[in-house]
Amino acid sequence: MKRFGILGLLLAAALVACPQPQPQPQPLPPGTIGASGGTVTSSNGVASVTFPAGALSTDTAITISENTSPPAVPNNQKMIAGKTFTVAGGSGNFASPASLKINLTPSEIAALGLRGLRPQALISQVVALQLGGTTWTNITFTFDTNTNTVTINIPGFGTYTLVVPNTPPPAPTLSSIALTCNPTSIAVTATSTCSAIGKDSSNVNLNPQPTFTFASSDTGKVGVSSTGVVTGVAAGSSNINASSGGITSNAVAITVTAAPSGGGVTFVSTNPSARGKAISATGRVFLTTVNQTTGYSLGFTYDGTTTTALPALPSGYIGVSTNIYASPCINSSGDVAFTAFKTGQVNHALFFDKTANSVSEIPFGDENFVFGCNDSKQVVASNFNSGQKTHFLWQSGDVSATQLSRTSPNGVIGYRARSINNSGTILFPDGILKSTTFMAVPLPQSSSLNAVGLTTAGTVYGAVGSSQLFKWNETDVAVTQLGTPSGQLQSQSLFVIGVNNNGDVLLRVTGMASSTDYQYWLYKNSTFSQVTVPNYSILEAIGISDDGSVLLNVFNSENFGNNYRVALVKP
């Protein structure tokens, strides 16, 4: 018993002498801040709050969440969406301030309505507010321009927000204008596009851009539209600039190359989209090109040396009509009657008065197509609306047009006025109308008639049975048949395109032995001869002037691409 007693005492002493393990401190639950401090992040990752050591006297579960329905801020301020947060976990102030950080993305900065201010400028525009009850008060903050982070030293639990002025600051002012044009070398009637960019004093592009006014230093060489579309008018050069608010851009020189000529051929235009549309007795030409920006056609006149763009069309009109029935005409003075597209592509007749240099509406109503004009500024048109077979005459200066007494005979589809001469005589496919009197062309028995050409003297030219050229005057008892080009087959087809006052007739012929395509022939001095253009094929013949010049649209089939030309040819 004594032995065990002594051993027990020794064992007890040993246990007392050895140190016992101490309990380890347990980690705080997520979101709980203790005496050593720490950071809590909002569930959306936009905001975080960092507590320094000793800021909280007891372990506290902290939450930071977006407040989606905070009280309204003062009227002269607006909250930045998604930047209002409530820090919760208790009440009262901290022993030392905590740091609330709120991140702003570049897209949010751009959407603040601060008109393109750089991030550095936000320091003077963004305001931090602290909510006390229902009242907001300013609280200081810092802004890190490298990370776009706002840091607010918050004194205690509560709600905090970021606001900007409700009225955006003044927009940066225009300081300079940069102008570019492409291309800078164009042919007559060809186009180029000029673009202007307004910049502030820091050479940053303004947003939005101001409205610019474009100008050409020599409109006789280069024209420019209100939208910066440049058009070659005549060989030479001109400087283009843009201006706005008293600021003028750099000048861009546009060079216009002359249309080539030679060998009896004059190329009025080398623009690949240009098409000749009408020629006068004096050789004036009306032609169009396609506006590459809008896709609609622009109108031009050519007086033998200079090509000039038509002035602006009346409001609501978007371009010259390309309808197959639209047959413009140009008189000896350069006045043009043509059909144009209204908004919605409704066709309506317009008149270009060269003396007044203006374009005005002809009171024919919609869907009346121009078919002739004369030197007295009279215009004749026909209506192609469904069920309509009416024809109209108008003279420049008249308030309204006069409906003609002639109507379509027997409901003939496509029956329309063909032209009007300087005496006011109007040509129809089957006769002439003088004032209110219609005189029919005496048709050969069992033959159809297609009268197309009318001279100032009143002589009518056309095709009998689509095969024989004829002429007739109102004093003639019968038509005079003039024959047909040699070499035609039985399936021939002959159509008169135009006639000048000398009796020279321009013809379109098919069914030739040498070709199944259209050919173009000239009847002159009782002789038929084919119209050709060296190195080019004829796309379309338009008309003939009194000096024998034929207006053609041609193309070079060996050079695909920009190979179309508007040509004047003297066969």
Residues 145 and 183 reside in one and the same domain: no
Of residues 318, 321, 298, 295, the one with CA closest to residue 308: 298
Domain final residue pick, 115, 137, 165: 165
Distances (CA, A) of 561 to 129, 232, 456, 460: 67, 20, 41, 40
What's the CA gap between 331 and 220, in Å, rounded? 22
Of residues 525, 535, 537, 521, the one with CA closest to residue 571: 521
Residues 136 and 213 reside in one and the same domain: no
Phi, psi of 28 (to 5 degrees): -75, 150
What's the CA gap between 62 and 89, in Å, rounded? 5
Token output for 333? 């003075």
CATH number for the domain spanning 54: value is 2.60.220.30
Q: Which stretches of the chain score pLDDT less than 70?
A: 1-26, 109-124, 168-170, 259-263, 384-388, 411-413, 444-449, 466, 487-492, 511-517, 557-562
Residues 39 and 157 reside in one and the same domain: yes
- Answer whether residue 400 is part of any domain: yes
Residues 125 and 194 reside in one and the same domain: no
pLDDT of the residue at 1: 44
What's the CA gap between 305 and 309, in Å, rounded? 14
Sorted by sequence, the CB contacts under 8 Å of residue 14 that are 6+ apart come out as none
- Answer whether residue 27 is part of any domain: no
Q: How many domains does the chain have?
A: 3
Q: For the segment 67-112, what is each residue's pLDDT rounded down to a tens digit?
A: 998 999 988 888 888 899 999 998 889 999 999 999 987 777 666 6
Residues 144 and 205 reside in one and the same domain: no
Domain final residue pick, 134, 165, 196: 165
What's the CA gap between 211 and 217, in Å, rounded? 20
Residues 78 and 160 reside in one and the same domain: yes
Domain final residue pick, 220, 255, 290: 255
- Which residue range is the domain that position 396 belongs to? 310-437
Q: Yes or no: say if 313 and 334 are a contact pair by the CB < 8 Å rule.
A: no
Sorted by sequence, the CB contacts under 8 Å of residue 247 that are 6+ apart come out as 174, 175, 176, 177, 198
- Answer whether residue 217 is part of any domain: yes
Residues 40 and 113 reside in one and the same domain: yes
Q: For the segment 148-203, what is each residue's pLDDT rounded down to a tens digit?
A: 889 999 999 999 999 888 776 667 899 999 999 998 988 777 788 999 999 999 89
Residues 320 and 431 reside in one and the same domain: yes
pLDDT of the residue at 532: 87
What's the CA gap between 385 and 364, in Å, rounded? 12
3-state SS track over 385-431: CCCCCCEEEEECCCCCCEECCCCCHHHCCCCCCCEECCCCCEEECCE
What's the CA gap between 289 and 46, in Å, rounded? 58
pLDDT of the residue at 112: 61
Q: Yes or no: say if 453 and 507 are a contact pair by the CB < 8 Å rule.
A: no
- The string over 511-531, giving b where at least 16 C-beta atoms fall within 10 Å of a residue's C-beta and e elsewhere, is bbeeeeebbbbbbbeeebebb
pTM of the model: 0.61
CATH number for the domain spanning 408: value is 2.120.10.30
Token output for 268? 């009025």
User: At 507, which amino acid appears?
Assistant: L
Calculate ∠ Cα 558-507-267, nearest 5°: 45
Task: State how beta strands 213-216 and 63-66 pair.
Answer: unpaired
The dihedral over CA atoms of 560, 561, 566, 571, expressed in degrees to the nearest 10, equals -10
Q: Yes or no: say if 254 and 231 are a contact pair by the CB < 8 Å rule.
A: no
Of residues 252, 312, 260, 453, the one with CA closest to residue 372: 453
Q: Yes or no: say if 364 and 357 are a contact pair by the CB < 8 Å rule.
A: no
What's the CA gap between 144 and 153, in Å, rounded? 14
Asked, as a colleague might, if the bond just before 208 is cis with ω within 30 of 0, I would say: yes
What's the CA gap between 301 and 53, in Å, rounded? 87
Residues 426 and 331 reside in one and the same domain: yes
pLDDT of the residue at 524: 93
Residues 213 and 135 reside in one and the same domain: no
